[in-house]
Amino acid sequence: ETGVTQSPTHLIKTRGQQVTLRCSSQSGHNTVSWYQQALGQGPQFIFQYYREEENGRGNFPPRFSGLQFPNYSSELNVNALELDDSALYLCASSPGTGVAGELFFGEGSRLTVL
Amino acid sequence: AQSVSQHNHHVILSEAASLELGCNYSYGGTVNLFWYVQYPGQHLQLLLKYFSGDPLVKGIKGFEAEFIKSKFSFNLRKPSVQWSDTAEYFCAVWSNNAGNMLTFGGGTRLMVKP
């Protein structure tokens, strides 16, 4: 167990809707990253939050947005859902002082867009 | 563009066979290298990491990997696999000139036959 918890575990939405995914980071970790893992592919970096500020972003459109709260938990919001947004969304936390790139992952939120 | 390539998408081995999974990356600058593993129904977890020092690194469960800088490679090895090694394996690279992004390869699905 990593101590990173994500909710919900599964959800189904329709095209055009909006979704919010939530993540609680491991105790003591102040950095949260979000990844999208499409079926049969490796995780793709969406963005990272450090101390409530976006601290890096991958090649995702602005309809993917996020927040980090003072307790270091985080949300991923996706607006105007498209069919290709169907994927496993992974949250990962890190202490910010360890080896850069060493992440502790949650089990993910599986989003299906119909 | 920076990328990580895993040469084998699917590998099937019998127990006690030796394993080598290839990983190549294209990055400039300083890199930290990782292998993550995802066992069926479980979250992604760190198998081993390299960030400096001895290029031959040992991880959990008897796995090891060798960083060859001149070949931009970080291959994963295990001398004798077990049925419990059945999982998906991801090579990942963090670079100091790629923001705070951990870039993953496409993954290798390993099946070990008992």
B61-84 pLDDT, tens digit per residue, is 999 999 999 999 999 999 999 999
More confident site: A6 or B41: A6
Which residue from A minimizes the CA distance to B30?
Answer: A100
Residue-level pLDDT at A23:
97
Whether B93 has a pLDDT exceeding 80, the answer reads yes
Residue-level pLDDT at B27:
78
Which residue from B minimizes the CA distance to A48?
Answer: B100
Question: Quick one: which of B106, B16, B110 has its CA closest to A42?
Answer: B106
Residue-level pLDDT at B101:
85
Residue-level pLDDT at A113:
98
| Strands annotated E in B7-107 | 10-14, 19-21, 23-26, 31-38, 45-50, 56-58, 64-68, 73-78, 87-95, 102-104
- pLDDT tier for residue B100 given thresholds of 50, 70 and 90: confident
- Measured CA to CA, the distance from residue B52 to residue B48 in angstroms comes to 13
Contact by Cβ (8 Å): B96, B86:
no
Q: Which of A2, A45, A104 lies at the smallest CB-CB distance from B103?
A: A45
Tens digit of each residue's pLDDT (9 = 90 or more) over A43-78 = 999 999 998 999 889 999 999 999 999 999 999 999
Q: What is the mean pLDDT of residues B31-36?
A: 94
Q: Which of A35, A56, A104 lies at the smallest CB-CB distance from B99?
A: A56
- pLDDT tier for residue A2 given thresholds of 50, 70 and 90: low
- Measured CA to CA, the distance from residue B96 to residue A55 in angstroms comes to 14
Q: What is the mean pLDDT of residues A96-104?
A: 79
Residue-level pLDDT at A98:
65
Q: What is the mean pLDDT of residues B93-113?
A: 89
* Rounded alpha-carbon distances, angstroms, from residue A74 to A12, A31, A92: 21, 9, 10
Residue-level pLDDT at B107:
97
B16 interfacial to chain A (CB closer than 8 Å):
no
Residue-level pLDDT at A1:
61
B90 interfacial to chain A (CB closer than 8 Å):
yes
* Rounded alpha-carbon distances, angstroms, from residue B111 to A22, A52, A96, B77, B102: 32, 41, 35, 15, 26
Q: pLDDT > 90: what percent of chain B?
A: 81
Whether B99 has a pLDDT exceeding 80, the answer reads no
Residue-level pLDDT at A99:
74
Q: Which of B49, B93, B100 lies at the smallest CB-CB distance from A99?
A: B49
B60 interfacial to chain A (CB closer than 8 Å):
no
